[in-house]
Structure 1
Amino acid sequence: MLRVGLTGGIGAGKSVVARRLAERGATVVDADLIAREVVEPGTPGLAAVVDEFGPGVLTPDGALDRPALGKIVFADEDRRRALNAIVHPLVGRRRQELVDAAGPDAVVVEDIPLLVENGLTAGFPLVIVVHAPEHERLRRLVEDRGMTEADALARIRAQATDDQRRAAADVRLDNSGPLVDIQAAVDALWTQRLAPFEAHLRTRTRAARPPHAVIAEPDPSWAVQGERLLARIRRIAGERLIRSDHHGSTSVPGLPAKDVIDVQLVVADLDTATALAGDLADAGLVRLPDRWWDVDRDGVEHDKAIAANADPGRPVNCHIRPVTSPTWRDALLLRDWLRAHSEGVAEYAALKRDLAARPHESVDEYAMRKTPWVNGALARAEQWAVEVGWEP
């Protein structure tokens, strides 16, 4: 099963995306519908809301008067928190029941308007954010839903900002244009990413990668992507982690690199590393079988576990190293030395581009040919570490 978080600001058109995903075969769990269900007349949820906000939030026939409640909670953050404290646990329990009922090969899309606001993004291996400009969202709320402009703006401003949603998004769908455009974008997403992602998770197979090294220009979003991945991993790993870091070339600003996010987890021992690698499916990663190891600067092998991406849209290497291995320290030392030395970045970038330009060179050969430079850089980095008092 692949669980996907779907969100977007009010008026962005998230329901259009949810419907199209359902047409393609996804199991859609709609938090808004569940939120209505748990406060239907006669439910404990509605009784709790009335106890908190008074009978003025009821219609004459005893149902919840949503516009009346909305005017209260969207104008007062404390009152909104009080409502969320009642409704969110009820919605969460019902949502989990529906997820558990889906099949083992399902793509479960959980449509959650406040996914970002409620800090739920790390619970999904992939998050889709539906976006439209504020002026277009405002127009839709006024013209299509009959809201006043003041009420519409209050609801928009009560939610996460565009920047906050952008940081949470693995996929950002622009829904500011014609219906046919967003439907085509969803179709491509399903075919190229979601369906293969689910199949790879189910079969514990790493997504395919190019056989040769392809160097990309520096991407400022690599750092955000690394932290997003680590948040998912930390949620699963818990106290087993001694430390966790984004390392490798994508962690160095301004350094061209293969478009692969490398993260490093340091744990107590190899047994813990192997077990953790097998537990990372909820982060979208699958354990690679067989033996894996690092070779340190003295040529000594050190065992580790590796998990890699099942998601065809985001290559990831998750290196899980015992704390007794010296290679985890070297990985952080090289990263931090490069961050502090622009001349080292320039040297490394030139080497990468030269090696990647060689015909018929595999990724493994590319990595092997970098080793002499890396070992020399580590020797320089050790001297720098002494000079500045660096510690990992």
Structure 2
Amino acid sequence: MFLVGLSGGIASGKSTVVAVLRELGCAVIDADVIAREVVQPHFKAYRQIVRYFGTEILLENGEINREALANIIFSHPEKRQLLNSITHPEIQKEMLKQILKHFVLGCRYVILDIPLLFETNRLTKFMKYTVLVYCDPPTQLSRLRKRNGLSQAEAEARIASQLPLDEKRKLATHVIDNSGEWESTRRQVLSLHAHLEASLDFLWARLAAGTVVVGLGGLVYLLLQHFIS
């Protein structure tokens, strides 16, 4: 099994691409979903967030008000870094659990949907391929304003908090251009899926895992022989 990192930019249409991949039966681990899970009440990350950001970011039911927290971190880079330092370790632990589950199930490859894959840059070394969902800057700005009801200044500030898509494009091994019609995007996803399915890279991972298992088995056998004799 090998890992494929999928990323994009805010309002670039990554969720559209993920939906097609799921339709095709691909195993997708969504970092955003995990991020929402690890900040639920009674989790370690939740307690740390409330400690550093205060109870004013909480809803009446005690859960974190994601919109209020987003408004804080998008306008204060140092607070965004603090939040990432709290949540990222917990997110990565859960992602590792899910990767191991898919490995045991015999998946050829797993898509890791990570919005800030290229910003953090720590996880890219574990990916066999990286995929960027791209759209041109004017389209991105227009989609974000329409989707979130933001002013131009607010939308531009949120986009500026991430690495520009044109920079990410240089770092990705595959690019899906989502600037145009949905059918065009779908054709690109189908082509990517066919490429990944045809790859034999998963065999190397299986071979490596098999070697480790055999090695451990041999070690256990030698230890048993030692104690028996």
Which position in structure 2 is the counterpart of 1:182? 185
TM-score (norm: length of structure 2) = 0.84
Which position in structure 1 is the counterpart of 2:223? none
| Cα deviation digits, residues 86-133 of structure 1 (max 9, x gap) | 000010001111111002233210000000000122220100001001
Q: Which amino acid aligns with 1:97?
A: K
Q: Which amino acid aligns with 1:60?
A: E
How far apart are residue 158 of structure 1 and its match?
0.7
| Cα deviation digits, residues 343-373 of structure 1 (max 9, x gap) | xxxxxxxxxxxxxxxxxxxxxxxxxxxxxxx
- Contact kept? 2:26, 2:110, Cα under 8 Å: yes
Secondary structure, aligned partner of 2:111: strand
How far apart are residue 166 of structure 1 and its match?
1.7
**How does 1:44-193 map onto structure 2 within 5 Å?**
44-102=44-102, 103-119=105-121, 120-191=123-194, 193=195
Q: Which runs of 5+ in 1 are unaligned?
A: 206-277, 280-392
How much is the aligned-residue C-alpha RMSD, in angstroms?
A: 1.7
How far apart are residue 47 of structure 1 and its match?
1.2
Q: Which amino acid aligns with 1:186?
A: V
- Contact kept? 2:12, 2:135, Cα under 8 Å: yes
Q: Which amino acid aligns with 1:179?
A: W
How far apart are residue 63 of structure 1 and its match?
1.1
C-alpha change, 1:138 and 1:163, in structure 2 (3 Å) is: closer
The structure having more radius of gyration, on CA atoms, is 1
Figure out how many residues of one structure are paired with residues of the other and give that number.
Answer: 204
Secondary structure, aligned partner of 1:190: helix
How far apart are residue 60 of structure 1 and its match?
1.7
How far apart are residue 162 of structure 1 and its match?
2.6
How far apart are residue 53 of structure 1 and its match?
0.5
Secondary structure, aligned partner of 1:127: strand
Displaced runs of 4 or more, over 6 A: none
Query: Which one scores higher on RCO, CA 8 angstroms, separation ≥ 6?
Result: 2
CA distance in 2, matches of 1:106, 1:23: 16
CA distance in 1, matches of 2:67, 2:152: 14
| Cα deviation digits, residues 230-287 of structure 1 (max 9, x gap) | xxxxxxxxxxxxxxxxxxxxxxxxxxxxxxxxxxxxxxxxxxxxxxxx87xxxxxxxx
**How does 1:251-262 map onto structure 2 within 5 Å?**
none
| Cα deviation digits, residues 139-169 of structure 1 (max 9, x gap) | 1111122233322211110111234312211
- Contact kept? 1:3, 1:124, Cα under 8 Å: yes
| Cα deviation digits, residues 17-59 of structure 1 (max 9, x gap) | 1111111121100001110000112322211100011111111
| Cα deviation digits, residues 51-74 of structure 1 (max 9, x gap) | 011111111221111111111111
